[in-house]
Amino acid sequence: MRKLAAGNWKMNGTAGSVVELQALIAAHPMPGCEMLICPPATLVQQMASVARGSALRIGGQDCHPKPSGAHTGDVSAPMLRDAGASHVIVGHSERRADHGETDALVRAKAEAALAAGLVAVVCIGETEGERDAGRTLAVVGSQLDGSLPAGATAANLVVAYEPVWAIGTGRTPTLAEIAEVHEFLRNRLQALIGAEARGVRLLYGGSVKPSNAAEIFAVPQVDGALVGGASLKAADFGAIVAALSA
Ligand code: PEP
């Protein structure tokens, strides 16, 4: 399976940020992994047109479960597709926390993504309190069960394991902890979707940076990363792409 380096720009970036994209494309014309950047919705169309013909894919950060309608401020999966996106992140912990998104809503969003021909990047992860209480596997298992879209295959689903307490904090689980969760998720996926589970990319996310990327990518069952802060600069994200391509 080809590994995936995915960047989540969150609420960062304006038209001038296109220079970072151009630098990334120029530095990695033929990367040894898939490269994806998810800019804010305002930049999807512009960035998709800059990335056209290159190895870089562009994705959204969220989508509404409905394709259109009276939902002020929301963006639908067909709109993202129309703007040139190939992927969309759903269920990021910041959306689960800031907007009260439940597993059922995340699943509906993921199903909308699949219906629109997008790859759904479904995010799950435990809080610090849940980890301290020894509930990590129970929490991520039930999030996976509840958020997985019907019709998921290796081609249309990516799962990102992102411990909430590791996002944007500079802290990461130990390599053994990452290995334990990824092994658990692979087995759980197998129980849910059978043989397709082997080809689903399982990303780790949470404070991945150039200095820790290689050791995290060496962990069994880690098929890439979802990267926040370190995806904003082409040099940093490029170093992560290089580590994944090695
Ligand atoms: C994220 O937002 O998905 C993320 C992993 O952020 P960071 O890399 O900044 O921890």
Global pTM reads 0.98
pLDDT, position 202: 98
**Residue reference for tokens 């056209």:** 52
71 part of the active site: no
pLDDT one-digit tens code per residue, 73-106: 999 999 999 999 999 999 999 999 999 999 999 9
- Output the CA 178–ligand 1 centroid distance in Å: 15
Q: What is the extent of the structural domain holding 196?
A: 4-245
Average pLDDT, the chain: 97
How many A from CA of 70 to the centre of ligand 1?
31
Active site annotation includes 99: no
Q: Whose CA is nearest to atom 1 of ligand 1?
A: 228
Other C-beta atoms closer than 10 Å to the C-beta of 30 total 7
Who's near 94: CB < 8 A, 6+ residues apart?
10, 167
Tell me if 167 CB under 6 Å of ligand 1. Answer: yes
Residue of 149, 225, 151, 152 whose CA lies nearest to 182? 225
Which of 92, 101, 111, 182 does the annotation list as catalytic?
Answer: 92
- Domain tally for the chain? 1
Q: What is the residue type of 140?
A: V
25-66 pLDDT, tens digit each: 999 999 999 999 999 999 999 999 999 999 999 999 999 999
> Cα Rg for the chain, rounded, in angstroms?
17
Cα gap 153→156, rounded to integer Å: 5
Question: What is the tens place of the pLDDT at every residue in 117-141?
Answer: 999 999 999 999 999 999 999 999 9
In the chain, what is the greatest distance between 2 CA atoms, to the nearest angstrom? 48
Cβ of 5 less than 6 Å from ligand 1: no
- 206 ligand 1 Cβ < 6 A: yes
CATH number of 118's domain = 3.20.20.70
The first and second tokens of residue 213, run together, are 């990327």
Amino acid at 120: A
- Nearest CA to 121 among 146, 96, 91? 91
Give distance in angstroms: CA of 38 to centre of ligand 1.
12
Say whether pLDDT at 246 is over 90: no
Any atom of ligand 1 within 6 Å of the Cβ of 61 = no
Residue nearest to ligand 1 atom 5, measured at CA: 206
Burial 59-72 (b: 16+ CB within 10 A, else e): bbbbbbbeeeeeee
Question: Across 132-200, where does the E strand assignment appear?
Answer: 157-161
